[in-house]
Amino acid sequence: MKSSRIVTENSLGESSINVLLIGNNPVELNPVHDKLKNSKSIKFITEISFNISDALMKIFQFKPNCILVDDNLENKNIKKLTGKMKMDERIRHIPITLLKSSNYKRILSNGIMDFLLKDNLSADKLYRSILNVTNMRRTHLYLYKSYKRSKHKVSKLMKS
């Protein structure tokens, strides 16, 4: 499992969180980017990607603590992203939050840890959501690994 710290410090002692924004519409992502950039509580370092192949490349290079995906991205692209992330041990731990335009649009939720409405979105809400999903993801992975370990021990006992 990766480090349990979401907030990292740079050489100057400033705290920051790496966030990758993924969407297909710069007009929709710009307000979210601005809210993260203007946050007073913590420094967000953001990267933006407008397609899935670029996003996967940036995930490995940028090493985000959290990924924010715009719901304007097609369902098949969101599914492709979550599927590839689930299959790769190096990036499986990164939580994904879906930014929704409305509650009425149906979106698949496999691999999505949280949903936020874009209306009334603030830097504080984003920060709390990122902390919550990161802690939830860390707990989920810990429980999954514990389950696999105990399952393996039980199968060994059954064979003896």
Please tell me which residue, 82 or 153, carries the higher pLDDT value. Answer: 82
Instruction: State the Cα–Cα distance between residues 122 and 34, nearest whole angstrom.
Output: 10
**pTM reported for the whole predicted model:** 0.79
Please say if the pLDDT value at position 46 is more than 70. Answer: yes
The predicted pLDDT at position 8 comes to 53
Instruction: Kindly report the average pLDDT of the chain as a whole number.
Output: 83
Which domains does the chain show, CATH number per domain? Answer: 8-159 (3.40.50.2300)
The predicted pLDDT at position 54 comes to 94
Q: What percent of the chain has pLDDT over 70?
A: 88
Please say if the pLDDT value at position 69 is more than 90. Answer: yes
Instruction: State the Cα–Cα distance between residues 77 and 2, nearest whole angstrom.
Output: 26
